[in-house]
Structure 1
Amino acid sequence: MTPFGQLLKMADDDERLIMFHSHLGATYNDLRRYEEALIHLKKVTGLEAPESSMSCAETFANIAEISFKLGDYEDTLRQFLEILDSDLRTLPSYHILLANTYHNIGFIQMEQKHYVQALENITKALDIAKKSNHPDMHE
């Protein structure tokens, strides 16, 4: 058994497995081994994260980034829609992360040549960003 296999066997809870697979996904991404990165990041989505954890949104964002690099815009959009669903449930309506998510969705829709939807989402992003009290928006 490989050292990593032994380490995984020792992991007795989802929180540790989330950490292991997230780090492996990030490492494979850095190595540009995107398919292997996706395997590990998608394992994270099947595990239970602690309620206070932002790891779910981060994982979907990482999967979206890798899917984009692989040219899989459908999966990229699907991941950003998952993030949007989470953002709408957990963030204030004028949070800068919500604006970022709408912007990312619009960007992917532009890549797919869905210009009307892209414009709608990028406009939402701009409206939220203008109303956000994030310091970057008020310099």
Structure 2
Amino acid sequence: MHAVKKLGIIYRLLGRYQEALIAYNEYLNLQLITLSPEHIDLAYTYQSIGNIQVKQQQYDEALSSYEKCLVIQTNSLPSNHLQIAYTFILISELLMKQGKFAQCPAYLDNSLSILLNEQPLREADIARVRRMIAKVNSKLA
């Protein structure tokens, strides 16, 4: 099972995104058979699939993958978990690419809230989110 995942990683690193997507979807199908629906490993697979879909400019599909990831993360991890913050950032970046700035503030605010309470502080990530918030605010003004 993990060989399929590694194959997806290799294809992604080579820029062969369609083959990577096929491998990750095959890996996901195996996980869905062997793991519970809320298993955290599924979240990471959905996130990887979403990342590849973004590379292929399949934005609606990527958003769906990220949302599936987020549902599992929020049901399986503490609400202030760093991985949830990063998923909020991924969703925000995707929405910004689509010009859907009005949907970004909640995701960015939640991400920033988690990051500000993380120890040690993740200053680079905090600065990144603040820049994203400023960009969204300028687009909404």
Indicate whether the TM-score tops 0.5: yes
Q: Kindly report which structure 2 residues correspond to 1:51-130, keeping only aligned pairs within 5 A, or say none.
A: 54-130=40-116
Deviation at 1:131, TM superposition (A): 2.3
Residue in 1 that maps onto 2:122: 137
Q: For each residue in 1:19-76, what CA deviation from the matched residue of structure 2 results, as whole angstroms up to 9, or x when unmatched?
A: 0210111111111111011011001111234569643222112111111111111111
Secondary structure of residue in 2 paired with 1:82 = helix
Residue in 2 that maps onto 1:13: none
Deviation at 1:137, TM superposition (A): 3.2
1:39 aligned onto 2:30: no
Deviation at 1:129, TM superposition (A): 1.4
TM-score when scaled to structure 2?
0.77
User: Does the CA contact (< 8 Å) of 2:39 and 2:76 recur in 1?
Assistant: no
- Calculate the aligned-residue CA RMSD, in Å: 2.1
Secondary structure of residue in 2 paired with 1:35 = helix
Q: For each residue in 1:75-132, what CA deviation from the matched residue of structure 2 results, as whole angstroms up to 9, or x when unmatched?
A: 1111110110011111111111111111111111111111111122111111121123
Amino acid at match of 2:85: A
Secondary structure of residue in 1 paired with 2:122 = helix
Amino acid at match of 1:80: Y
Gaps of 5+ in 1: 1-16
CA–CA separation in structure 1 for the residues paired with 2:72 and 2:34? 13
Amino acid at match of 2:120: P
